A and B are shown apart, each in its own frame.
Chain A
Amino acid sequence: MTATIARRLLAAIPVLFGLSVIVFLMIALIPGDPATAILGSYATPENVARLNASLGLDKSLPQQYLAWISGVLSGDFGRSYALNRPVIDIVTERFSATLLLAGASLVLATVFGLLAGIVSAVRQFGFADKAITLAVLIGISVPSFWLGLLLILFFAVKIKLFPASGMVAIYGGGGPLDILHHLVLPAITLALVATGVIARLTRTAMLEVLRQDYIRTARAKGLSERRVIYRHAFMAALVSVIPVIGIQAGFVLGGAVYVETVFQWPGIGAMLVNAISQRDILLVQGGVLVVAASYVLFNLLADICQTLLDPRLK
């Protein structure tokens, strides 16, 4: 088992490497002079020169990469020019908020997506199946930035149940309950699409599994339908749903951009949008790298879970 996990970890290294190259190339790919792009068109020539030197832009690309990646690995992502702070500080601060939001959403999406998918498959062609199928279709078609507004207008403005923005109350907030209170609406908004996708694929996987011979065996043993469905069928279906959950982690991390903007959640998505508007390229670079790397790690985790669940995959 340890060997399997180690092998998967090793396999992730080339992906992380490729990822870092692409993120590194962001600067090189900027049309025109990167330093000017980063500092803006009003930058003084000496500032441009200093930045060029600190970015090592006068060296060859591989040398630049080496310099950059060794900095990254030691936690040096450069400095944000707009905020005048080290990128690493901003990114870690923001990323924890995103991780909380995305994690909560993913948990919601997984729980409800799996449940809806199971019910839908078990009641195939029945009322529940049709209702869930339609709900899923709506769920994956709703723009999250619009849904967020709807939820704010209803739950925050109309019935004043949940706050409309932020992560903690400005006065007297900060406890876990306060954060939870602020988390509800954004987490639901962000979870919706992923829930739909997971429900859809769980339904398909369950239908596929329910036709298998071992389900007939389970029934032939005289097991209750509950046990047949929730143990025998579901465990087998889960094996093929887990990678989907992994992929949804990417959609949730990316979709956080919209939700954080709508709810003013102090996460990395909202930060990225601001940084892009302000052409704060180094901050964008650091943010993208951290989020992308965490996505890779999350998929790795899903991969390992899948192997643990289905030892045949070893």
Chain B
Amino acid sequence: MTAAAASSRDDRSSGRERRERPSTFALILNNRLAAAGLVVLCLIVIAALAAPILPLADPNATDPASRLAPLLSPGHLLGTDALGRDMLSRLVWGTRVSLVVGVSASLIAAIFGSAIGLVAGYAGGRTDQMLMRLIDLTMAFPYILLALAIVAILGPGLINALYAIAIVNVPFFARNIRGITVGLARREFVDAARLSGKGPLTILWSDILPNVLPTIVITLSTTVGWMILETAGLSFLGLGAQPPQADLGSMLGDGRKVMFTAPTISLVPGLMIFLIVMSINLIGDGIRDALDPRLRSGALARPAFRTKVAKGRRKADTDGEQEPLPADAGGVGLDPLPAGEGGNRYPPLPCRASPPQGGRSPSVGLSERSISPLEGEMPAGRGGFQGRDGDDVASDRNDNPVLAVRGLETDFHIGRSVYHASNGVDLTIRRGECLCLVGESGSGKSVTAMSVMGLVPSPPGVIAGGRIGFKGEDLADAPDRRIRELRGGAVSHVFQDPLATLHPLFAVGDQIVEAIRAHQPLGKRAAEAKARDLLDLVRIPNAAQRMKALPHELSGGLRQRVSIAMALANDPELIIADEPTTALDVTVQAEVLRLLDTLRRERDTAVLFITHDFGVVSEIADRVAVMYAGRIVETGETAEILTRPAHPYTRMLIDCVPVMGEPERRLDAVPGRPPAVNRLPPGCAFADRCPRVQPDCREGEIPLETKRGSLEARCLHPLGPGEALAGGADPLEARP
């Protein structure tokens, strides 16, 4: 999960979100299948309850004259059985018996199982161990076999079958309830109850039981169907209901004797069992889904192959230089600044009718171009991405950017809210250049970086706008096949926690070999040799042996070296490194950082490096872009940003970095929290935390157009060169 999504999830737990949540019962009803199950079950239960007052024939009245009457015979809607008894009546009465027996068994299992679970969980220690060993032991028997053994001891009969099924199900309740109780027994309110002199039984009854009741109900709802099925099964085997008593199972068993002549006699009771069990299971699933918050938030959704790209994706720059995108962005002149970050140094332009270049512009719809004047004036994207002036800067550099992201908007759709994790971001990286994307967690830096190769989990992520230019190609438009070709090929990734990002079950050598062979037509041997070379390259000692190691057998630093080796496998032109050193020890961090820096210099690879740590920035970055609440708030060359930032937020982030030899320097965390990106305030998103905030900061869009040297800042009241924050080192006091 990305940081942005994580922060948005926090917001979900706020009261606002809760009000939107329908009640559990409403959720169950909303689930069409569960509602259908509820209706069917209600009808069956009502019929069974009303059996004595329904106009039904005597279920046990035999009538040899009309034996084996077919379905829909006069007087016998469901026909008669081998003794001429009315099947409809027998079905209703049999259902009654089956329901009573099944439900009684469930209740007995629930009561005894819960009692055992409560006692074991509350008492703990020896009692707990003994009881749970016993429970485990009964679970070591195949389910039905144990029931059979119990019936064998007690002798066949409906009540004995009921006991058998109840006993067999006790462990399910005992285990579930114990689990909850163990947690509850350590809670404060239980301690309070104990201190107030209540006895253990009183505490169990009045303090703990009410809290485990929902679990009991859920377990009951998921097992009662089974128990009805199993008691019917025992009766079917002739071990439950004995004649003349009949439940659905024994009716089925009896009917089997005339199965070939009158199949309905056995099929109808079976159908009834199926309907009961199915409807209960539907309801049980409905209850579980309604009570399981993970399912509700859609968090269990699996991410697709690539991030969804919205159909009506806004392509921010419509001033004609849009296509071809990136490669010649340098030529068209977004320099000397990275085009994106520096896009808006002039007020919005009216659309210049610059000729479409090269005529190959599949991504530019005609309609789009025709509305462009309007868009030029009113930023098409949210990010204040406005028209760019191509003539603005002389093309003084020949090297074209490898990556040119323009007006990127990546949203998360969670529930009914839309979180703008990346909110109109421009980035440009040239060959051999390292751009650091910096920001707090939740600022959208990872989402922005992961959007490039479509690796933002989708659902819930959607690329809603902007273009992702990779050497002249808009990746948001590229077909899946092209994306796959580029992934791990021309563009590779290094992720944060190598323990989580390497496959835990495959040897690291195999994982590198796999990366190589996905892009190069090499045999296994050749690929293995290459993988070994790569491990040597990233300075892993004993490479040949380490090939066979599983990720968990390596140290964190070695694992990250493996990740880097994997990223280098196919000589990428761009490496996207998402906090690759954050999960490592400080000393290892420095080594890995140095390694990455050396390798990219040797190979002239462009690097997009995401970090929250300005210490890391100073080590590796050529340029820096600072993100806040989904936008770039300041960008510029590293040295300048580090020493003379213009944006107060950048200043505060830099002030967070400890400096060797200045122990008395205060380390200030940036006070406050970033705003939720689904309801950003108007104006500067940082205003609430900014010591220099003025009233005009909260009015309208602030473009990224305050310039100083190489810097560009999205700030109306920037700091002067070297200026410290007002209020000295304590921004807290300066807060509005």
Report the stretch among B200-208, B391-399, B511-519 that lies at the interface: B511-519
Closest A residue by C-beta to B280: A141
Task: Given A15-B140, A220-B488, check contact A236 B302 (CB 8 Å).
Answer: no
Binary CB contact string for chain B from 255 to 280 against chain A (1 if under 8 A, 0 otherwise): 01001100100110011011001100
- Min CB distance B487 to A, Å, is 4
Is B501 within 8 A of A213, CB to CB? yes
Residues of B within 8 A of A107 (CB): none
- Min CB distance B133 to A, Å, is 8
Is B281 within 8 A of A137, CB to CB? yes
Task: Given A221-B566, A222-B518, A254-B145, check contact A19 B266 (CB 8 Å).
Answer: no
Binary CB contact string for chain A from 39 to 62 against chain B (1 if under 8 A, 0 otherwise): 000000000000000000000000
Task: Given A222-B486, A223-B514, A254-B144, check contact A273 B300 (CB 8 Å).
Answer: no
Report the stretch among A63-71, A142-150, A175-183 that lies at the interface: A142-150
Is A19 within 8 A of B141, CB to CB? yes
Report the stretch among B228-236, B406-414, B688-696 that lies at the interface: B228-236
Is A220 within 8 A of B305, CB to CB? no
Report the stretch among A1-9, A25-33, A75-83, A85-93 that lies at the interface: A25-33
Is A141 within 8 A of B277, CB to CB? yes
Task: Given A208-B300, A219-B487, check contact A257 B148 (CB 8 Å).
Answer: yes
**In whole angstroms, how far apart are the Cα atoms of A311 and B519 in the complex?**
29
Residues of A within 8 A of B489 (CB): 222
Which of these, B252, B518, B552, contacts A223 with CB under 8 Å? B518
- Min CB distance A50 to B, Å, is 22
Is A213 within 8 A of B148, CB to CB? no
Report the stretch among B374-382, B492-500, B640-648 that lies at the interface: B492-500
Closest A residue by C-beta to B483: A222
Task: Given A217-B495, A272-B148, check contact A149 B143 (CB 8 Å).
Answer: no
Closest B residue by C-beta to A145: B236
Q: B155 at interface (Cβ–Cβ under 8 A)?
A: yes
Is B142 within 8 A of A254, CB to CB? yes
Is A292 within 8 A of B501, CB to CB? no
- Min CB distance B594 to A, Å, is 23
Is B501 within 8 A of A217, CB to CB? yes
Q: Which B residues, 59 to 111, have Cβ-Cβ distances below 8 Å to chain A?
A: none
Residues of B within 8 A of A236 (CB): 503-505
**In whole angstroms, how far apart are the Cα atoms of A121 and B233 in the complex?**
33
Closest A residue by C-beta to B281: A141
Task: Categorize the interface residue count of chain A.
Answer: 35 or more
Which of these, A145, A235, A276, contacts B270 with CB under 8 Å? A145
Which of these, A138, A291, A311, contacts B145 with CB under 8 Å? A291
Task: Given A216-B303, A219-B455, A220-B492, check contact A292 B140 (CB 8 Å).
Answer: yes
**In whole angstroms, how far apart are the Cα atoms of A143 and B145 in the complex?**
17
**In whole angstroms, how far apart are the Cα atoms of A221 and B494 in the complex?**
10
Q: B484 at interface (Cβ–Cβ under 8 A)?
A: yes
Is B273 within 8 A of A310, CB to CB? no
**In whole angstroms, how far apart are the Cα atoms of A225 and B306 in the complex?**
10
Q: Which A residues, 268 to 314, have Cβ-Cβ distances below 8 Å to chain B?
A: 272-273, 275-277, 279, 281, 284, 288, 291-292, 295-296, 299, 309-312
Task: Given A254-B142, A295-B140, check contact A149 B270 (CB 8 Å).
Answer: yes
Residues of B within 8 A of A216 (CB): 303, 455, 457, 495, 501
Closest B residue by C-beta to A142: B274
Which of these, A29, A150, A206, A272, contacts B153 with CB under 8 Å? A29
Q: A96 at interface (Cβ–Cβ under 8 A)?
A: no
Task: Given A146-B270, A153-B263, A295-B141, check contact A220 B487 (CB 8 Å).
Answer: yes
Residues of B within 8 A of A111 (CB): none
- Min CB distance A120 to B, Å, is 11
Is B274 within 8 A of A310, CB to CB? no
- Min CB distance A267 to B, Å, is 12
Task: Given A22-B137, A141-B225, check contact A257 B518 (CB 8 Å).
Answer: no
For the A-B complex, the count of residue pairs with Cβ-Cβ distances under 8 Å equals 232
Residues of B within 8 A of A152 (CB): 259
**In whole angstroms, how far apart are the Cα atoms of A143 and B274 in the complex?**
6
Closest B residue by C-beta to A283: B152
Binary CB contact string for chain B from 127 to 149 against chain A (1 if under 8 A, 0 otherwise): 00000010011101111110011
Q: A162 at interface (Cβ–Cβ under 8 A)?
A: no
Is B267 within 8 A of A207, CB to CB? no
- Min CB distance A174 to B, Å, is 25
Which of these, A206, A212, A276, contacts B148 with CB under 8 Å? A276
Closest A residue by C-beta to B282: A137
**In whole angstroms, how far apart are the Cα atoms of A124 and B487 in the complex?**
24
Q: B485 at interface (Cβ–Cβ under 8 A)?
A: yes
Q: Which B residues, 148 to 162, have Cβ-Cβ distances below 8 Å to chain A?
A: 148-149, 151-156
- Min CB distance B42 to A, Å, is 17
Q: B239 at interface (Cβ–Cβ under 8 A)?
A: yes
Is A276 within 8 A of B252, CB to CB? no
Closest A residue by C-beta to B133: A18
Determine which residue in A22, A26, A206, A309 has the highest number of CB atoms from chain B within 10 A of its CB, and name it.
A22
**In whole angstroms, how far apart are the Cα atoms of A142 and B145 in the complex?**
19
Task: Given A220-B493, A277-B156, A284-B152, check contact A140 B281 (CB 8 Å).
Answer: yes
Task: Given A220-B487, A288-B148, check contact A276 B302 (CB 8 Å).
Answer: no
Which of these, B136, B137, B301, B484, contacts A222 with CB under 8 Å? B484
Q: Which A residues, 216 to 233, have Cβ-Cβ distances below 8 Å to chain B?
A: 216-225, 227-228, 232
Q: Which 9 A-B pairs have the closest CB atoms?
A: A146-B270, A254-B144, A222-B488, A250-B142, A254-B142, A210-B302, A141-B278, A221-B488, A222-B487
Known: A138-B278, A291-B145. 7 other contacts (CB 8 A): A19-B141, A142-B277, A153-B259, A213-B500, A257-B148, A258-B237, A312-B504
Residues of B within 8 A of A (CB): 33, 133, 136-138, 140-145, 148-149, 151-156, 225, 229, 232-233, 236-239, 249, 252-253, 256, 259-260, 263, 266-267, 270-271, 273-274, 277-278, 281-282, 285, 300-303, 305-306, 453, 455, 457, 484-489, 492-493, 495, 497, 500-506, 514-515, 518-519, 550, 552, 563, 566
- 5 A-B pairs within 8 Å (CB atoms) are namely A143-B252, A145-B253, A146-B271, A214-B504, A228-B305
